[in-house]
Amino acid sequence: MPSLSRPLLFASLLLAPAVHAGETAPTFDRVDFQAEVSRQLPNDLMIATVAVERQDKSPAALARALTGIGNAALQTAKAWPSVKVRTGNQRSWPLYGKDNKVTGWSGRAELQIESKDFKAAGELLGQLQDSLQLQGIQFTVSEETRQGLEKTLTEEAIAAFRSKADTVRSAWGAKGYRLVSLSIGSSGGQPMPRPEMMMMAKAAMADAAPAMEVSAGESRLSLTVSGSIQLDR
């Protein structure tokens, strides 16, 4: 029994200073706030979707037809090296007639077109008009441009956060402050559909125009710094 009581006594002695230290630790006032900076810049990336739909009684023949049209479009796109073209969604579904019996198959295949060269992309869309239909056009800020600007915005947002922290400290008459937490987030610059450009593109393709005039517009990129500080009172 004596051998058991000694460890318990030793543990109680260790806990006592910890409680005392917690009671005498200085307290701080915590303030949560955020700072945001933004920049307006031109969209430099065009994203278009073209698609083809076909019907056939044989699902295998349908798949071959869709694949053939897609492969031909990819070959055509090689004449415009500044334009990136990749296959998109491809699917098929049964067609039903009387007595709910399958009478044939319908399918759809898509291609995604991306380029910073709007003129070349417009020319390619004009060449694809015979076999593919334009589904929509979007304009956005490219990832390279976004990353370059985010570095600058991050520096500006952190400077704005520090300036606001000094304002808060001064307004409360605190001697100083320390940073408790900090998070950084960006938003904006996402692809935005341009209905008027889609209608212009369809008209250009219908008239077999070699290229279409586009207006990419602008996007606003924002970066927010959120965090907490503790005021030294």
> What is the pairing mode between strands 29-42 and 218-232?
antiparallel
Confidence of residue 4 (pLDDT cuts 50, 70, 90): very low
Residue with tokens 């900090």: 182
pLDDT, tens only, 152-191: 999 999 999 999 999 999 999 999 999 999 999 888 655 5
Q: Is the pLDDT of residue 84 over 90?
A: yes
Confidence of residue 216 (pLDDT cuts 50, 70, 90): confident
Please, what is the end-to-end C-alpha distance for the chain in angstroms? 51
Backbone angles phi, psi at 62, to 5 degrees: -65, -45
Task: Tell me the fold of 45-141+192-215.
Answer: Alpha-Beta Plaits (3.30.70)
**Distance (Å, whole) CA 53 – CA 48:** 17
pLDDT, tens only, 121-139: 999 999 998 899 999 999 9
Predicted local confidence at residue 130, as pLDDT: 86
- Dihedral (C-alpha) 136, 198, 71, 112: value to the nearest 10 degrees? -40
Average pLDDT, the chain: 82
Q: Is the pLDDT of residue 12 over 50?
A: no
Percent of the chain with pLDDT over 90: 66
> What is the pairing mode between strands 192-193 and 84-96?
unpaired
| Contact residues for 97 (Cβ-Cβ < 8 A; gap 6+) | 103
**Distance (Å, whole) CA 66 – CA 55:** 10
